[in-house]
Amino acid sequence: MAKIGATIRNIITAVFKGELLLRLHVDKYFVHIIYLFVLILAAVWISLKVDTTLTKVEKNKKVIHELEIYHAEMTSELVELGRLSTVEAHLQELGSDVAMPEKPAVAVKRR
């Protein structure tokens, strides 16, 4: 049991001194270990970026769906208001003097 405790103490001191890789005799693979660490870090970073992008896409899909509903409602109202008889009825209800022209429009000529 004392041997296990000494080994754990030895490993902990090696980690704090930065000598763990040297004590394990993997110093010739140090560049590969750093490269692997950078690759893992890049994979985690890309994963986080993809996740935030997908979150934005889902939020924008909801906004687009709401805007499509709003567009359909406005189109429906415009179609209803686009009828000439409806427009004249609304103008008369509001007490407006505007009415359909009695004569055709005259084109103004430029000099």
Count of domains for the chain: 1
The reply to whether 110 falls in a domain is no
Inter-residue contact 80 to 86 (CB < 8 Å): yes
pLDDT at residue 107 above 80? no
The reply to whether 111 falls in a domain is no
pLDDT at residue 4 above 80? yes
Instruction: Print the domain residue range for 50.
Output: 2-93
The reply to whether 47 falls in a domain is yes
The reply to whether 75 falls in a domain is yes
Q: What is the tens place of the pLDDT at every residue in 88-106?
A: 777 788 888 777 777 776 7
The reply to whether 99 falls in a domain is no
The reply to whether 33 falls in a domain is yes
Burial of 98 (0-12, 13-18, 19+ CB in 10 A): exposed
The reply to whether 55 falls in a domain is yes
Q: What is the tens place of the pLDDT at every residue in 54-68?
A: 999 999 999 999 999
- Residue 30: CB partners within 8 Å, gap ≥ 6? 21
The reply to whether 106 falls in a domain is no
Q: What is the tens place of the pLDDT at every residue in 8-53?
A: 888 888 888 877 777 778 878 888 888 999 999 999 999 999 999 9
